[in-house]
Amino acid sequence: MSTRLGCAVLLVTLAGCATTDRVILLPDDNTGKVGKINVVGRDGDELLLDSAYGEARTGTGKVRSDTLDSDAVRKEFGKELAALPPRPKSFLLYFITDSDELTPESRALLPAILDEVGKRPAPEVVVTGHTDRVGSVEHNDKLSLARAEAVRDQLAALGIDKAHILVAGRGEREPLVPTDDDVAEPKNRRVEIEVR
Amino acid sequence: MNQRKQPGHSVFRYFLLGAVFAAFCASADPEVAGIFKSVEGSVTITRGSSSLPAQVGLPVYQADRVITGPDGRAGITFEDSALLSLGPSANLSIDRFAFDTTTHDGAFEITLAKGKLAVVSGKIAKHQQDAMKVRTPSSILGVRGTEFVVEVGGSQ
């Protein structure tokens, strides 16, 4: 290998090391809440990002931090932010007690769900059943899935392609109203429709 | 369980094990990790030794790589409802994706080798701290929520 080529390889390698990777934490688009990201650099040093527009830079040496603002982020990451898929939209459906019939209020939401599906590219509908804490975890898993499947069939009957409807049963894991075990709570017996 | 040794027995057991394994492999359809919701310009999915152009509605799977051209952009919604988008000249691999829709246990690990990325994390990151990870050539990001952007190879 010629010395010149050797030098070129060395330079490219050095240049590769000298580049910087960056991560910038953004406030939630809907709520303004800010999450957290734990950044681990090459040498194993760590930095926790937990404020809006907080930035961590990694490359050679320690992780460095900075704070940007929304204008700078929009300018530098405008293309990426514009390409984000539409945010999922959720609807809650309730049933008339001891039936698989929707309450009149929930039935009235169906046109809005269909409308939302029609607006989206490659739409998917995720139907997730939830129960209260009466009965065992296993029983509630089955019950919540059965409820979700019942709603899926109703949505399919309205013309949504069944291939694009996903069902899930969350059982009693995600109550809207936290309760002790074996407490009946109608607000927790619901089906969530997420259009995405 | 019966501990007696019977010559034919263990052979049968291996046979059974093999049959179960074969059935498992046959049924192990790859699970969809996400769906393309937006594609602009040149965007390619690399899957094993083959590659195909990305289109709105196409799925991505664990082990796929998504590469955008200089004019390319893409947006993907994942099964846990995480949103992800790539800008031009980006290179992203889906290292690992698993999601249990009942418990929300899962793993979501991606590597950005090049370019820029925007992310809104989903149910996996919400359920379990650090179950979602983003790697870059010089960092590992443990995602605890929710919205962020990443750039690989920016200037100092």
**What confidence tens digit (pLDDT) does each residue in A167-196 have?**
999 999 999 999 999 999 989 999 999 999
pLDDT of residue A29: 85
Retrieve residue A15's tokens. 């240049």
Calpha distance B151→A25 (Å, rounded): 12
Are A160 and A125 in contact, with CB atoms under 8 Å apart? yes
Of A24, A60, A124, the CB nearest to B148: A24
Lowest mean pLDDT among B29-38, B76-85, B99-108: B29-38
Chain pair A-B, CB pairs under 8 angstroms: 168
Q: Which tops the pLDDT comparison, B47 or B6? A: B47
Residue B134 pLDDT more than 90?
yes
Lowest mean pLDDT among A73-77, B17-21, B66-70: B17-21
The CA-atom distances, in angstroms, between B135 and each of A77, A83, B80, B112, B113 are 18, 21, 19, 6, 8
DSSP states of chain B as a string? ------HHHHHHHHHHHHHHHHHHHHH-PPPEEEEEEEEES-EEEEETTEEEE--TT-EEETT-EEEE-TT-EEEEEETTS-EEEE-TT-EEEEEEEEE-TTT--EEEEEEEEEEEEEEE--HHHHHSTTSEEEEETTEEEEE-SSEEEEEEEE--
Quick check: B144 contacting A, CB < 8 Å? yes
Of A20, A88, A121, the CB nearest to B56: A121
CB contact under 8 A, A81 and B118: yes
pLDDT of residue A30: 83
Quick check: B146 contacting A, CB < 8 Å? yes
Residue with tokens 């997420």: A194
Band (pLDDT 50/70/90 cuts) for residue B103 is very high
Contacts of A77 in chain B (CB under 8 A): 87, 116, 118, 149, 151
Average pLDDT, stretch A98-125?
92
Of B134, B144, B149, the CB nearest to A73: B149
pLDDT of residue B8: 47
Residue by residue, what is the 3-state secondary structure of A4-69? HHHHHHHHHHHHHHHCEEEEEEEECCCCCCECCEEEEECCCCEEEECCCCEEEEECCCCCEEEECC
Q: pLDDT of A7-46, one tens digit each?
A: 555 555 544 456 899 999 999 988 899 999 999 999 999 9
Residue with tokens 């983003």: B134
Residue B27 pLDDT more than 50?
no
Q: What is the ipTM of this complex?
A: 0.88
Residue B12 pLDDT more than 90?
no
Q: pLDDT of A123-168, one tens digit each?
A: 999 999 999 999 999 999 999 999 999 999 999 999 999 999 999 9
pLDDT of residue B36: 98
Look over chain A and give the mean of its residue pLDDT values, rounded to a whole number.
Answer: 90
pLDDT of residue A7: 53
CB contact under 8 A, A19 and B152: yes
Are B111 and A2 in contact, with CB atoms under 8 Å apart? no
